[in-house]
Amino acid sequence: MLDRVPPAGYSTASAVWSIAYDGGWGFGSVVFGLIVAQTGYPLGFGLTAAVVAVAVIPAWGDRSRPDPTTR
């Protein structure tokens, strides 16, 4: 995120990153707990693996973007 904003936006990008990261850990833990309580650990971990695999798709596509440091 810091590579995509000008230096004046570093504090905002850092705050957004922190909120998303910490919120994702908290929300993900609650959702995982709810799923595991209903289905058990094997399916819970399988679903987690599927979510991670789906998240790789946009990350893989993002690697083809031009390097922002060469502006």
Local confidence pLDDT in tens for the 71 residues of the chain: 788 899 999 999 999 999 999 999 999 999 999 999 999 999 999 999 999 999 998 888 777 666 666 65
Which residues neighbour 36 within 8 Å (Cβ) at sequence distance 6 or greater?
44
Q: Name which of 59, 61, 34 is nearest 48 in CA terms.
A: 34
Q: How many CB atoms lie within 10 A of CB 13?
A: 15
Residue 52 has what pLDDT? Answer: 92
Return d(Cα 1, Cα 60) in angstroms, integer.
Answer: 16
Q: Is residue 71 included in any domain, yes or no?
A: no
Domain that holds residue 9: 2-64
Q: Is residue 10 included in any domain, yes or no?
A: yes
Task: Specify the pTM.
Answer: 0.64
Residue 68 has what pLDDT? Answer: 61
Q: Is residue 26 included in any domain, yes or no?
A: yes
Task: Report which residue type is found at 13.
Answer: A
The count of structural domains within the chain is 1
Q: Is residue 51 included in any domain, yes or no?
A: yes
Q: Is residue 70 included in any domain, yes or no?
A: no
Residue 1 has what pLDDT? Answer: 79
Tokens of 28: 């993900």
